[in-house]
Amino acid sequence: TEDPKSITNVPFRQCFSTHIKGEYSTLGRFTFTVTADDGWDGTKEVKELSKVGDYYYSDGTWSTDAKTIVNNPIIGVVYKVNADGTGKVVSLTEGTNLTWGPTNVETGTTSSTNGKENTDKVFALIANQSYTLSDYPIFNACQELRTSTVNDRWCVPAREEYVYLFKVVSTINDKITAISGTTVIAPDKDVETSACWTSRESSTVGAYLMTSGTGSTNTNKGNARRVRFILDF
């Protein structure tokens, strides 16, 4: 009993959301027909981005609500999203009471912004020296996470990556604990043992610790502290 309503020139793709807004019908039953052409008149594809707090799955997808998917488990929670759709994910658990590594080896891990670069340098160094991965406990824990999640992008964060993570704990912690993960806690500058290792060394014998939400200091690589892991997507 109603006149047909048409929405023209709408791009759509299989398995992607097509956001068409408007009144289709005032009745409870109606017919919706789609006619597909080879192309459309528009010039820009809109990419649906993840959000801070989304669950991140082993196949690189994400969702706002936790889903149980066979052979595609949740491996982390998104904590940063860039304008181009890339971002960062934090692990569901952390390593505790771990040392950084030997105090007589210089690794060349100098970046304060790129933990993946630092972490890969340590792995490359281990492959060409007499030490083994077990001699670098925080990086060994990172490798164990890479193995268990079948994802070699996990790394020990650099300082700036931690800073951003600690800014959004109120947004992501409910998501992490909802699936029995370990809460992300920013270090307390008055509690030395709450500090977190970064992947950047300060010298042959020392490396940097996050001692607060934004501050870091260097300490002996042989001290046992905690560490969280992140990955880029």
Whose CA is closest to 171, among 232, 108, 100, 81?
81
pLDDT at 127: 87
Residue 16 vs residue 128, higher pLDDT: 128
Domain count, the chain: 1
Q: How confident is the model at residue 130 (pLDDT cuts 50, 70, 90)?
A: confident
For 58, 123, 134, 165, 167, the CA distances from 128, given in Å and listed in that order, are: 30, 9, 15, 33, 38
Instruction: Please report whether residue 2 resides in a domain.
Output: no
Q: Whole domain around residue 173: which residue ranges?
A: 55-232
Instruction: Please report whether residue 218 resides in a domain.
Output: yes
Instruction: Please report whether residue 36 resides in a domain.
Output: no
Say what angle helices 159-167 and 169-178 make with each other, to 10 degrees.
80
Instruction: Please report whether residue 128 resides in a domain.
Output: yes
Please say if the pLDDT value at position 144 is more than 80.
yes
pLDDT at 46: 64
* pTM of the predicted protein model: 0.80
Instruction: Please report whether residue 41 resides in a domain.
Output: no
Please say if the pLDDT value at position 82 is more than 90.
yes
Gap between the Cα atoms of 171 and 178, Å rounded = 12
Percent of the chain with pLDDT over 70: 88
Residue range 89-117: average pLDDT?
97
Instruction: Please report whether residue 149 resides in a domain.
Output: yes
